[in-house]
Structure 1
Amino acid sequence: MTEERLVADTRPMLLRLAYRILGSYADAEDVVQDTYLEISGRDLSDIRQPKAYLTKAVANRCLNLLKSARKTRESYIGPWLPEPAPALPSNDPEALAEKRETLSYAFVVLLQRLSPEERVAFVLREALGYAYRDIAAMLGKSETACRQTISRARRKLPPPPAGGDAAREAAGEDAAAAERFARQFLAACETGDFRGFVTSLSADARLVTDAGGKVRAATRVIYGSERIEALFRGIAPKGFFDGEASLIRQGGQIGVRLGRGSAAVWAAFFELEPNRRVIQTMYMVLNPEKLTRV
């Protein structure tokens, strides 16, 4: 296999892998590019399984980057949210075998609860379906240790839906509910009337905003539907919702983007309660450095 063909065959999958782990599409691109530079000009005939080799290299680079980024995250102004990446490549044949719900924005946010090692092992297992022995080989650990790491990760996250048709049906219902709420929020942004949308929030809903100190925004999580509604009513007259609002998609999940001219001003996504009847958490990314691809 030529180097060019290897890159064409593996780049979309590696980008999706790195983005899930890092929560940053910019960092994912850098990690994947650095991995390809490592093999550039090499005789690839000595690599028995090129895809597995590159997956291991990307996973370990992501792990190292997460560990080195801890201090940066700790000094970040306000909550840290992943970079939205609605243009994430997902139309190649291998993407169909991946668990698409693990590319949704809400799921990438949930992954932030995990330690770097838990996140890498969990994504390799749950999103890409790697066997425990393969994950162990990639991370240089025993199979038992990998099983324990993934078990700890599962306990920190909501239980996944059952497999097969039930999982596909649940994913479809999640996507439909998220789109319904996104359209309600879109209409509220356009009219300035948030009363109808607020009824879609659970009483103890959370609003998490990420501005990184670059623009004005709440630096703490807003709790409760009444406080969220009061915030929206307060910032609407100040032009917060002025612009062109539209729907965007990431990993099968629908969100809302507000743009002015060619630039995105913010992007919003929703995490639903298990019954899909109300919104549990609303995420709004305002940091302009995280909106360049939206």
Structure 2
Amino acid sequence: MSPHDQIFETHRPRLLALAYRMLGTRADAEDTVQDAWLRWRQADPADVRDPTGWLVATVTRLGIDRLRLASHARTDYVGPWLPEPLTIDDSPGPAGRAELAEQVSIAFLALLERLGPEERAAFLLREVFDYDYAHIAAMLGHGEANCRQMVHRARERVQAGRARFPEVAPERHRALLERFLHASSSGDRDAIMALLHADARLRSDGGGKAIAALRPLEGADRIARLYRAVARRAPHGTHWRLGRVNGELAGLRFVDGRLKSVTTIVSDGERILEVLNQMNPDKLRLH
């Protein structure tokens, strides 16, 4: 491997982390990094004074282009769109660093969907990857003042979405998730209702390839009635177990040994505020 190639491989994990947070799907993130690799191979090393800055800027611009295309494609998406898990582990073992799991939780990535492509890039570069505004301005081709304003607006929108998601002790989160999985798998409507906040919300991503609610459900009663109906029709060989999605504790539903859905929750420590179900088979791959 040439020194030029070695530089890229050294940066690949960071580039993939950025691309995934921007795009919300592993396939798009990997394709973006591959596109950056091809451009890197064509670049004259003598013209690249700052390899890290060059590579991050390239992935950022490619990611913005993909986000713009994705925004059009997702208008035709069947039902709610949720991010694709980067990692699915069918074991509830200890999570990695808590802040890392938070940065790639399905709920956090879904919040980023509120942001426009450049706004999202600026927010991630500043808040997650800790670049200063001079570097962000150079990468995005905007003035520093404009980038500050983009990050400020993005931060406000993300914080508004997070306002109802307080920090919860891991043991409380796990207990709520375990009780919810047990209640939903048995179809116990009263038990489900007792676990959900009155204004709880459910989003399920089936992508037109799995049976799922075609729009978000609002309210504990509607969600509980849905799970009761689903439990009654569950095929033989269905079982749930705890695992981790992007390092976050999740419920994994298997039918005859095949993964059919992953469920994550957001809670206030007492009640579940949001349920996120990823059911699109194209987005479910164990790692």
Question: Which of the five TM-score ranges fits, normalised by the shorter chain?
Answer: 0.7 to 0.9
Moved over 6 A (4+): 95-98
Question: Could you tell me how far 1:99 is from its partner in structure 2?
Answer: 5.2
In the alignment, the residues of structure 1 paired with residue 180 and residue 4 of structure 2 have an alpha-carbon distance, to the nearest angstrom, of 46
**Higher alpha-carbon deviation: 33-42 or 130-139:** 33-42
Please report how far the alpha carbon of residue 171 of structure 1 lies from its aligned counterpart in structure 2 after TM superposition: 9.2
Query: Aligned partners of 1:56, 1:124: CA distance in 2, in Å?
Result: 10
The answer to which of 189-198 and 28-37 deviates more is: 189-198
Match of 1:233 among 209, 228, 247: 228
Shift of 1:159: 6.1
TM-score for the superposition, normalised by structure 1: 0.84
How far apart, CA to CA, are the structure 2 residues paired with 1:8 and 1:241?
46
Which runs of no fewer than 5 residues in structure 2 stay unpaired? 90-95
Partner residue in 2 for 1:291:
284
The aligned amino acid for 1:266 is: S
Q: Could you say what secondary structure the match of 1:72 adopts?
A: helix
Matches within 5 A, 1:75-224: 75-86=76-87, 100-158=101-159, 173=168, 175-188=170-183, 191-193=186-188, 195-224=190-219
Alpha-carbon contact 1:118-1:150 (below 8 Å) kept: yes
Q: What secondary structure sits across from 2:159 in the alignment?
A: coil
> Residues 198 and 10 (structure 1 numbering): CA distance in 2 closer, same or farther, change over 3 Å?
farther
1:243 aligns to 2:211 (yes or no) = no
Quick check: 2:137–2:143 contact (8 Å CA) kept in 1?
yes
**Ranges in structure 1 where 5+ consecutive residues have no aligned partner:** 89-94, 162-169
Verify the 8 A CA contact 1:99 1:127 in the aligned structure 2: no
Shift of 1:233: 0.7
Query: CA separation in 1, counterparts of 2:193 and 2:101?
Result: 28
**Secondary structure in 1 matching 2:204:** strand
* Residues 87-145 of structure 1: CA deviation (Å, up to 9, x unaligned): 59xxxxxx979755211111001111111111111111111111111111110100000
TM-score (ref. length: structure 2): 0.86
CA spacing shift, 1:186–1:97, aligned 2, 3 Å: closer
1:185-225 per-position Cα deviation (integer Å, ceiling 9, x unaligned): 33335544454343221101011111111122210111111
- CA separation in 2, counterparts of 1:238 and 1:145? 53
- Render the CA deviation track for 1:160-205: whole Å, top value 9, x for unaligned: 99xxxxxxxx997454443332222333355444543432211010
- Residue 234 of structure 1 aligns to which amino acid in structure 2? A
Alignment-derived partner of residue 93 in structure 2: none
Residue 293 of structure 1: CA displacement?
4.5
Shift of 1:261: 4.6
Distance 2:14 2:251 in 1: 26
Matched residues, number: 278
Cα distance between partner residues in 1 of 2:246 and 2:171: 13
- C-alpha separation in 2, matches of 1:98 and 1:31: 25
- Give distance in 1, aligned partners of 2:99 and 2:56: 14
1:69 correspondence with 2:96: no
Kindly state the Cα deviation for residue 252 of structure 1 after the two structures are TM-superposed.
3.8
2:38 matched to which residue of 1? 37
Residue 12 (structure 1) aligns with: 13
Aligned counterpart, 1:164: none
Q: Structure 1 159/230 Cα, relative in aligned 2: closer, same or farther at 3 Å?
A: closer
One-letter amino acid of the counterpart of residue 123, structure 1: L
Deviations 1:31-65 (A, max 9, x none): 01111121126553532221221111111111001
Letter paired with 1:202: H
Amino acid in structure 1 at the alignment position of 2:102: E
Mapped partners of 2:262, 2:238: distance in 1: 12
